[in-house]
Amino acid sequence: MLIVMRQDASQKQIDEVIRAVESKECKARPIPGGDRVSIAVLFNKGALDEAWFQDLPGVKQAIAVTRPYKLVSRETKPDGTRIQVGNVTIGNGRMVIIAGPCAVESETRAMVIAESVKKAGGDMFRGGAFKPRTSPYSFQGLGEEGLKILAKVRETFDMPVVTEVMDLACFDMVEDYADIIQIGTRNMQNFSLLRRAGVAKKPIFLKRGMSATIDEWLMAAEYIMAEGNPEVILCERGVRTFVRHSRNTLDLSAVPVVQRESHLPIMVDPSHAAGFRDQVMPLARAAAAANAHGIMIEVHNEPEKATSDGAQSLYPKQFEILCRQIRAIENILKDNSE
Ligand code: PEP
Ligand code: MN
């Protein structure tokens, strides 16, 4: 925090501000300027409240300069976090491709899609067993039966599986089956769920809330880390804007901003951002070019029959082409790495 004194502040007022800072167990360092003194507040252990200093005599403004998040911050840990999931490493420079249907619909369907994901070069399989649907009348997922199918996919194709946890009631069950536990956009600020995720033994895939700022998103990750789970993967999945041509607007600037602010890996889900199949491949390529740590793509062999999100699911053939394109972009980035 920086406390800017008024031009006419007396030495006595400056000394009083210094004492107030020291009473919060921080160090106060006065910085004399051309026409006024500013006081830098250093070594604070947690977030400081501007209001503590704002109204002291002689103070013009108290400005928060450190970030509210600590554990997720790159200031705390300059090296990028790597997360090992089975034989896949997230955050080691190779883009991780996660793909599969929106929902696990049946064993046969999941197996057919998983085979095409594996063949195309996908690294992990995704599929919801518990679906957060806008309408209570829409397909809600197969529940534990869906998780068992995911376990079968993992065994058969040697691919880690990612699936969403919707609430505390199903957390233990999802944790038993999943290799990575997804927290969806609608639950990004479900703080009791985040705390439970913080004591989970599996990595957490934390999607950005559809109206969340990057600070709010990072603070959600901070909740998980504060409980002791250091393995959090962030996923940008589009935010709500005024546009009608896509379901959400993919905020690709989140990738460099998160990479500057945090050591956690960041992936991109162009499927839920777009909502329409024809936008998914261009957005996925753009995410790769932005140097995301990975992408999550919805794939379905018969999207017209899908129980959810068929309109945004790629056909297996399209996914195969996309995988090749992603690897090509990755190679270009390697050649020109800064
Ligand atoms: C999903 O990945 O299936 C999903 C529901 O995503 P989101 O939470 O981003 O809408
Ligand atoms: Mn979906």
At position 62, the amino acid (one-letter code) is A
pLDDT single digits (tens) 268-294 = 999 999 999 999 999 999 999 999 999
The answer to whether residue 178 scores a pLDDT higher than 60 is yes
Q: How many angstroms separate the Cα of 239 from the Cα of each of 29, 224, 233?
A: 41, 22, 18
Query: Cβ atoms within 10 A of the Cβ of 226, count?
Result: 16
* Residue 338, pLDDT score: 55
Listing DSSP states for 38-59 in one string gives: EEEEE--SSPPPTHHHHTSTTE
Compute, in angstroms, the gap from residue 21 CA to the centroid of ligand 1: 45
Instruction: State how far the Cα of 174 lies from the Cα of 166, in Å rounded to an integer.
Output: 9
Q: Beginning with the edge strand found earlier in the chain, give each strand of the sheet holding 37-42 in spatial order.
A: 27-32, 37-42, 2-5, 59-63
Tell me the backbone φ, ψ of residue 125, rounded to 5 degrees: -110, 140
**Helices and strands in the chain: count of H runs, count of E runs:** 11, 14
* SS3 label, residue 324: helix
Tell me which residue has its CA closest to atom 9 in ligand 1. 185
Backbone Cα Rg of the chain: 23
- Reported as a single tens digit per residue, the pLDDT across 64-105 is 877 788 899 998 889 999 999 999 999 999 999 999 999 999
Look at ligand 1, atom 4, and give the residue with the nearest C-alpha.
184
The three-state secondary structure class of 262 is strand
Q: What is the set of domains in the chain, with CATH numbers?
A: 2-63 (3.30.70.1140), 83-337 (3.20.20.70)
Q: Is 270 in the pocket of ligand 1 (CB under 6 A)?
A: no
Going by C-alpha positions, the residue among 255, 251, 216, 253 that lies closest to residue 237 is 251
Q: How far is CA 222 from CA 67, 240, 260, in A?
A: 12, 23, 16
Q: In testing the pocket of ligand 1, which one of 164, 181, 246, 312 has its CB within 8 Å of the most ligand atoms?
A: 164
Give the distance (Å) from ligand 2 centre to CA of residue 132: 9
Stated as kind and residue range, the H or E segment containing 84 is strand 83-85
- Pocket flag, ligand 1, residue 165 (CB < 6 Å): no
C-beta 237 within 6 A of ligand 1 = yes
pLDDT band at 235 (very low <50, low <70, confident <90, very high): very high
Mean pLDDT of 310-336: 95
Q: How many CB atoms lie within 10 A of CB 13?
A: 17
298 CA to middle of ligand 2, Å?
A: 7
The set of residues, in sequence order, having a beta carbon less than 8 Å from that of 123 and lying 6+ positions away, is: 88, 96, 97, 98, 159, 160, 294
Residue 102 in contact with ligand 1 by CB distance below 6 A: yes
pLDDT at 336 over 80: no
User: The dihedral of CA 195, 197, 203, 204: what is its sign?
Assistant: negative
Q: Does ligand 1 come within 6 angstroms of the Cβ of 196?
A: no
